[in-house]
Structure 1
């Protein structure tokens, strides 16, 4: 189990992580979500003592990471797959870690096989593709056969087969009773993987709930109905005291995803033909956008919509076509803020 208590990190005037308190429990996959700049990477680094908190604490199975003997046997993490010695082979990258944590050398071959890198075990990692590097990073995390695993963007660079593999791997690890904590911006994949969600914005905890609960609490659910007998249908639901709205495409919407069965029975009683009767609910992405709308730090605007930029106080008057750059701007590129 991972336990955070009042975890806080300040960089000068910037409060990156703001008194986070939550637990990551065993036996399930916990997704860690938040907009860019929300503090996710900083939080994960503090979990591993790579950054010192300004206040608060993190405990791994009741201990600070720095107090763990042979930490790879407690917690395995993938934070940056590029953080490896490019001049060493995949095998020797892992062997060095194994020796530092008194892990048998035989385990190196096992995890290389698990991640599908046996055929390139003796090749230098600097020649690896993004996906191969990601697999090696996952092998790092698995090396000590730990009870707790942390993955930051684990599907980055993986092909469809690799994405399917890592999804099933994480589910298998959770089914074994291990603690699995995963951060990702790929909402469609998170929706297929996570059981529980921790959502933060601007360093603050926004949600600590189940996947189903998060979507239910941050989205609208309704039943969509299509019928060739609209007037009869309106009369039937009106007589039953139900509130119904007509959409521009001719369909009807009735609030509540659990209303499908009552509406179907009502239509049957009044002999109304239905061409569609389907519960509708927002996706994880839609629910996430709804919850974090006020917590997004980096706002982008359509270049073809100067009104949007003007609303944000960032619009400049349009330049004349083929006009030279203003003095002092020759060769300047965009300046980007750091994401998270």
Structure 2
């Protein structure tokens, strides 16, 4: 079990983690979500003693990480799949970790077999693809047969078969009563994997709840109804005290009542239904709704933003140099045709002609 209480991390004026308090329980998969810059990586580093908290505590089975003897036998973690000596083979990378934590040599072979790297055990890690490196990092986390596992973006670089494998692996570990804590930006994968969610934004705790409850609280649930008797369906719903909102495709959307009751209502009035479907938002939609005001880095669709003209220039700012035409090769090495007729392209051609004349004079 992982227990976090009042965890805070400050870098100068920047408050990266702000008084986080939550627990990661055994027997379930706990997902750790948050926008970029929310403080997830910093939190996980403090869990492993890689960063010192400004305030607060982290306990692993009741102890601080640095108090654990042979820590890989308590907690296995994948934070950075590239954190390995590239000159070592996969086997010797794991053997080094095993010997430093009192883990039997036989566990090296077992871990390699679990992640599917037995055939490349003698190859140097620097030649591994991203997915193979990810599997080796997972093998390192599993090496000590720990009761607690922590994964940061575990599906990064894996192919569909690998994603399916790691998903089932985490579920199997949780079913054995182990504590599984996983961070990922892939909402569709998290929705298929996690039982419980911890969501943070700008270093603060936003949610600590089950997957189903998180989606229910942060999204709209409704029922779609469609009938060839469009107007009559609306009147029947209104008479029963239900407000129907028209959808673009001619259906009605009804909040606050279950599909079973609406189906019974339609049947009681002899209405033919072409659609009766409960609608539930996805994890991604619920996450976006909750974290909308916590996003630190906003991207735009183009230089002028998602819509509208470019903002007025700051009169105090220096003028930007003219850009080369999109259809022309850029830079002086592109030849005499580089750039538009005026601006830097014309200056470069004049300078080039002058250099040629000087070279001829020097002959």
State the TM-score, normalizing by the size of structure 1. Answer: 0.91
Cα shift readout 1:188-225 (whole Å, capped 9, x = no counterpart): 00000000000000000000000000000000000011
Q: Which residue number in structure 2 is paired with residue 217 of structure 1?
A: 217
Task: Tell me the SS of whatever aligns to 2:56.
Answer: strand
Give the whole-Å Cα distance in 2 for the aligned partners of 1:175 and 1:240.
46
The 1:158–1:263 alpha-carbon spacing in structure 2 relative to 1, beyond 3 Å, is same
Give the whole-Å Cα distance in 1 for the aligned partners of 2:311 and 2:292.
15
Q: Which structure has more RCO (C-alpha within 8 Å, separation ≥ 6)? A: 1
Give the whole-Å Cα distance in 2 for the aligned partners of 1:14 and 1:22.
22
Unmatched 5+ residue regions in structure 1? Answer: 326-340
CA shift, 1:248, in A, is: 2.3
Q: Which residue number in structure 1 is paired with residue 236 of structure 2?
A: 236
Unmatched 5+ residue regions in structure 2? Answer: 326-339, 345-363
Cα shift readout 1:116-157 (whole Å, capped 9, x = no counterpart): 000000100100000000000000000000000000000000
Moved beyond 2 Å, runs of 4+ = 304-325
CA shift, 1:259, in A, is: 1.5
Q: Which residue number in structure 2 is paired with residue 271 of structure 1?
A: 270
Task: Tell me the SS of whatever aligns to 2:296.
Answer: coil
Task: Tell me the SS of whatever aligns to 1:191.
Answer: helix
The 1:177–1:306 alpha-carbon spacing in structure 2 relative to 1, beyond 3 Å, is closer
State the TM-score, normalizing by the size of structure 2. Answer: 0.86
Give the whole-Å Cα distance in 2 for the aligned partners of 1:85 and 1:54.
31
Task: Tell me the SS of whatever aligns to 2:134.
Answer: helix
Show the 5 A alignment for 1:112-261: 112-256=112-256, 259-261=258-260
The 1:139–1:260 alpha-carbon spacing in structure 2 relative to 1, beyond 3 Å, is same
CA shift, 1:304, in A, is: 5.9
Show the 5 A alignment for 1:34-49: 34-49=34-49
- Size of the aligned set, in residue pairs, is 324
Task: Tell me the SS of whatever aligns to 1:253.
Answer: strand
Q: Is the 8 A contact 1:301 1:308 kept in 2?
A: no
Cα shift readout 1:169-196 (whole Å, capped 9, x = no counterpart): 0000000000000000000000000000
Q: Which residue number in structure 1 is paired with residue 92 of structure 2?
A: 92
Give the whole-Å Cα distance in 2 for the aligned partners of 1:314 and 1:138.
50
Cα shift readout 1:55-94 (whole Å, capped 9, x = no counterpart): 1110000000000000000000000000001101000000
Task: Tell me the SS of whatever aligns to 1:198.
Answer: strand
